[in-house]
Amino acid sequence: MTTIIETKKKVKLEIDGKTLFAPEGSTILEAARAAGVRIPTLCYHEALSPIGSCRVCVVEVEGVDRPATACNTQALDDMRVVTRSERLFNLRREVIRMILAHHPLNCSSCPKNGDCELQDIAYEYDLAPNDFGSYSIKTEEYPWKEFSTPILDYHPRRCVLCGRCVKVCKEIRGLGAITMAGPGALASIQPALADPESPSRCVSCGECMRVCPVNAIEERMGGGKGKPWETEKTSTTCAYCGVGCSLELNVVNGKVVGVTTDDAAGVNKGRLCSKGRFGYAFIHSGERLNKPLMRNEKGELEETTWTKALTKVAREFRRTLAEHGPDSIAGLSSARCTNEENYLFQRFIRQAIGSNNVDHCARL
């Protein structure tokens, strides 16, 4: 027996004086991350191919004059890379300063406060509002424009033009419903319309919102989302179709205010459709039933107590059983309820009623 060994070639390189091996074809960023070396990033997202737009991940490569962006430079044999130096610190600080110069600094009133990748990196590079008085690009107000879907709002002033949203729409959704348009720092994200007459290709999945490092794309009908430190996240499984995507319900003050995902979790690996991401408002709908109802003498449904309602149900079941036998009662369980509830429901019909008249909506 010959053992088959993974024969993918490795390259040997040095990062910050540490020798390491990385699979051929890796970028410097991937090689560094695999070895536990942190290179700061902003436009880079693990689920996407490198964008290389923000230049925060610059590193020095021996023998190359200009600093290289680690996210899209291939790691090569015998390469020597430096990720931390005064020159790099200043370069990165300058890049972040340029971005912050046209990003509103009203962090305290932004729902992303505390969970913002730009804020984190500005903090890391010791930037404060009085550090960019000398820049004044992108100062004008943008007129409000419809985004690719009526359920999301795009805020051009907050946008750092990293391009993640455009990339995710193309690479993950295969749609290309949005694009970056306009000159330089005044560019913005816009619906991509091949033909102004044709409807948007956007399917309102909200992937663009998920990958946005700041808060440039947000739910229009959300509101009052709460700050990250007061938000509790509960991991659960989506209640709609049979794919069973993993998601996190975001709860503030006992109310579900949004849905987020964990990029590593479940069959969906962070992705969701419109129902999974935006289909939560029903939970707190004013139309929810919150008390048992019973039909009164006038034939109307009227609120009652649990004891009265359940006693009535048990009495009617018992009477029907006595008069017509177990097969005169039937139960419809639910493909929407949990396994535990379905199990208990069929056990109730089979044991307490004594009939196999139990089914659910599998056929519909």
Edge-first strand order for the sheet with 255-260 is 232-237, 246-252, 255-260
Q: Which of 161, 166, 205, 212 binds another protein (CB under 8 A)?
A: 205
Nearer to another protein, 184 or 242 (CB): 242
| Least distance in angstroms from the C-beta of 232 to another protein | 8
Nearer to another protein, 156 or 276 (CB): 276
Nearer to another protein, 124 or 327 (CB): 327
- By CB under 8 A, tell whether 149 contacts another protein: yes
Q: Which of 280, 297, 298, 322 binds another protein (CB under 8 A)?
A: 280
**Cβ distance 287 to 311 under 8 Å?**
no
Q: Which of 34, 47, 48, 352 binds another protein (CB under 8 A)?
A: 352
Q: Which of 219, 225, 227, 260 binds another protein (CB under 8 A)?
A: 219
Query: Which residues between 173 and 192 bind another protein (CB under 8 A)?
Result: 173-174
- By CB under 8 A, tell whether 31 contacts another protein: no
- CA 301, 302, 306, 309 dihedral sign is negative
* 183-212 per-residue burial string, b: 16 or more CB within 10 A, e: under 16: eeeebbbbbbeeeeeeebbbebbbbbbbbb
- Give the other-Cβ count within 10 Å of 43's Cβ: 23
Query: Which residues between 249 and 278 bind another protein (CB under 8 A)?
Result: 249, 251, 254-256, 265-268, 271-275, 278
**Contact window for another protein (CB under 8 A) among 60-68, 113-121, 181-189, 330-338:** 330-338
**Cβ distance 178 to 189 under 8 Å?**
yes
- By CB under 8 A, tell whether 49 contacts another protein: no
Nearer to another protein, 107 or 352 (CB): 352
- By CB under 8 A, tell whether 194 contacts another protein: no
**Contact window for another protein (CB under 8 A) among 23-31, 37-45, 106-114, 202-210:** 202-210
Pairing of strands 152-154, 232-237: unpaired
Query: Which residues between 78 and 107 bind another protein (CB under 8 A)?
Result: none
Closest CA to 338 of 273, 244, 270, 209: 244
- By CB under 8 A, tell whether 311 contacts another protein: yes
Query: Which residues between 281 and 310 bind another protein (CB under 8 A)?
Result: 281-285, 287-295, 301, 306, 309-310
| Residues forming beta bridges with residue 227, ordered by sequence position | none
Residue 303 CA to residue 37 CA, distance in Å, equals: 63
- Give the other-Cβ count within 10 Å of 16's Cβ: 16
- Using only the alpha carbons of the chain, give its radius of gyration: 28
Which residue has tokens 């737009």? 53
Nearer to another protein, 186 or 283 (CB): 283
| Least distance in angstroms from the C-beta of 221 to another protein | 5
Token pair in block for residue 204 = 């309102």
